[in-house]
Amino acid sequence: MAAMTALEHLSTPAALIDTARMARNITLMQARMNELGVKFRPHVKTSKCIEVVRAQVEAGASGICVSTLKEAEQFFAAGITDILYAVGMAPVKLPQAMALRRQGCHLKIITDSVEGATAIAAFGREHGEVFEVWIEIDTDGHRSGVKPEDVVLIDVGRALHDGGMQLGGVMTHAGESYSLNTPEALRAMAEQERSGCVHAAQRLRDAGLPCEVVSVGSTPTALAAQQLQGVTEVRAGVYVFFDLVMANIGVCKADDIALSVLTTVIGHQREKGWAIVDAGWMAMSRDRGTASQQHDYGYGQVCDAQGCVIEGVVMSSANQEHGIVSAADGSRADMSQRFPVGTQLRILPNHACATAAQFPQYHALQATGEAAEWPRFYGW
């Protein structure tokens, strides 16, 4: 059993998980997927933590999604076997992927080009390995993938199938949903994601190619989708913790955010209206994702030690190990009386994945008010 530590005895900065909020988030997403009649594959790059992933699987998740092969290795070693590596496969990584498969991992890889498909097929034939490969589809112009109507889609499918690989399906990620902030726009993006990926799958089938899996997903579209006809599974990651970017998008509220950074006030600049804390950008990350949204939280929203939002106060600036806590409106009220040296605060992150990545472990808050240490997988 993990050692328990009282909050006031934790060395700061420390990454905290509010386990009650996390459990609520997991239940919400899984219930939504059950209602829509699809499998749910959580993207575990957000937590990189087996305790978190076990909670997701126990709630009904089917398999996981990772962003590095190191993550795949670590989660496979922890007992998870159904894994999608959801980053385009670089040929240099094929030996690592093959080793995982030969150990019994049901690893799926992806590509979005004829060149990538040809390299995978050539390596597979040379080594007697039949990789399961999904084709990445671009349904929103946000990042990678083949457009659903692009003629190259069929070429990629044939390069895989005729090359002796298992063409497992198609997948897409509606990353452009992160730039939206109304229910109507999110619903429209979810439908665009669904219809585009389903159309790509049908084009492959019409060309005589197999396409069993149709995988879509992002946290905003997963929660906004009205129907998922033709989709077999959904992927989402940040929902397990949520963050301020998601709050700005409108898919959660501040009191749904399960991840925070515990920090301590270490000094003041009274004439500037600053309280200085021991959590800088090395703790919060450099991610300023809310700067381009309707509400800019600086480096994070300030809460008291119990996790209650302190209205009008944010981490406005950060150096490597120092954070500046000040009034959100720029006023220079003296913070020394409000937050004396030694005061513990919690900072809600802009981007949960980026903030979590700064820490080797979490401190999971229990109902007793104590925290259990949960290791976090590190490395690429």
Taking only the tens place, the pLDDT of each residue in 247-281 is 999 999 999 999 999 999 999 999 999 999 999 99
Structure confidence at residue 128 as a pLDDT band (50, 70, 90)? very high
Residues 4-41: tens digit of each pLDDT: 889 999 999 999 999 999 999 999 999 999 999 999 99
pTM: 0.96
pLDDT of 348 higher than 80: yes
Q: Give me the pLDDT at residue 2, please.
A: 64
Q: How far is it, in rounded angstroms, from Cα 99 to Cα 192?
A: 37
Q: How far is it, in rounded angstroms, from Cα 7 to Cα 9?
A: 5
Structure tokens at 343: 């005061």
Q: How far is it, in rounded angstroms, from Cα 315 to Cα 327?
A: 9
Structure tokens at 244: 């301020």
pLDDT of 140 higher than 60: yes
Cα–Cα distances (Å) from 292 to 112, 238, 314, 334, in that order, read 29, 19, 16, 29
Q: Give me the pLDDT at residue 379, please.
A: 67
Q: How far is it, in rounded angstroms, from Cα 64 to Cα 72?
A: 9
Q: Give the residue carrying structure tokens 């409106």.
A: 329
Q: What average pLDDT is seen over the chain?
A: 97
What value does the mean pLDDT take over residues 108-133?
Answer: 98
Q: How far is it, in rounded angstroms, from Cα 252 to Cα 301?
A: 14
Q: Give me the pLDDT at residue 251, please.
A: 97
- Counting every residue written for the chain, the total comes to 380
Q: Give me the pLDDT at residue 368, please.
A: 87
Which residue type does 282 have? M
pLDDT of 1 higher than 60: no
Q: Give me the pLDDT at residue 378, please.
A: 76
Residues 153-192: tens digit of each pLDDT: 999 999 999 999 999 999 999 999 999 999 999 999 999 9
Residues 6 or more apart from 95 whose CB is under 8 A from it? none
Q: Give me the pLDDT at residue 380, please.
A: 65
Give the whole-number percent of the chain exceeding pLDDT 90. Answer: 96
Strand order in the sheet with 82-88: 39-42, 233-236, 213-216, 166-172, 132-137, 106-111, 82-88, 64-66
Return the SS3 of 20: helix
Would the CA dihedral through 23, 26, 30, 33 be positive or negative? positive
Structure tokens at 358: 């700064």
